[in-house]
Amino acid sequence: MSDVYTCPKCPTLFESIYLSGNFPGGKEREDIDCPNCGHTVDTDVTSAVVSTREITGERKAAYLAKQQPAAPARTDIRTPPPMLDSPLTITLDAEAMASLNGYRQAYHAWSMHPGTGPKGAQLNLELAETAAALAKALARLAQ
């Protein structure tokens, strides 16, 4: 079993490889790190050891060709806002603080669960909802 990832910090396309494992018990959350820069891109709860390797050459070209269907150029797209390149200080109001605390609690509950079954799905949904609420609160304050 392997999954393909693109590192958000560098343009590396890589795959995760699950080595050995698949024994009862002993499941732990394993980091899936970029083999180029070491950035943690994902995690997985598994009893296997997770290794990663860069996808290059013809395999990379074939994978990218499948992922990017030809689309006509659009002219109605707005230019994205510039990236922040210096520290930003935001004072959180009561609503933003509540959103941050809600996200922290949801993340803690999610990280302590193996991520399977109905409870795992519920925790994934709660984490996504609290992350969206936090992002909305921070965006409101950063304007």
- Report the alpha-carbon distance of residue 40 to residue 5 in Å, rounded: 11
Q: Which two tokens stand for residue 21?
A: 């494992």
Per-residue pLDDT tens over the stretch 67-112: 766 666 666 667 777 787 888 788 889 999 999 999 999 888 888 8
Q: How confident is the model at residue 34 (pLDDT cuts 50, 70, 90)?
A: very high
- The answer on pLDDT for 1 being more than 60 is no
Cβ 107 vs Cβ 115: under 8 Å:
no
Dihedral angle at the C-alpha atoms of 20, 21, 22, 27, nearest 10 degrees? -160
Q: What's the angle, vertex CA 30, arms to CA 10 and CA 119, rounded to 5?
A: 115
pLDDT for position 31: 87
Per the DSSP assignment, residues forming a β-bridge with 31 are 43
pTM above 0.75, yes or no: no
Per-residue pLDDT tens over the stretch 115-136: 777 888 888 899 999 999 999 9
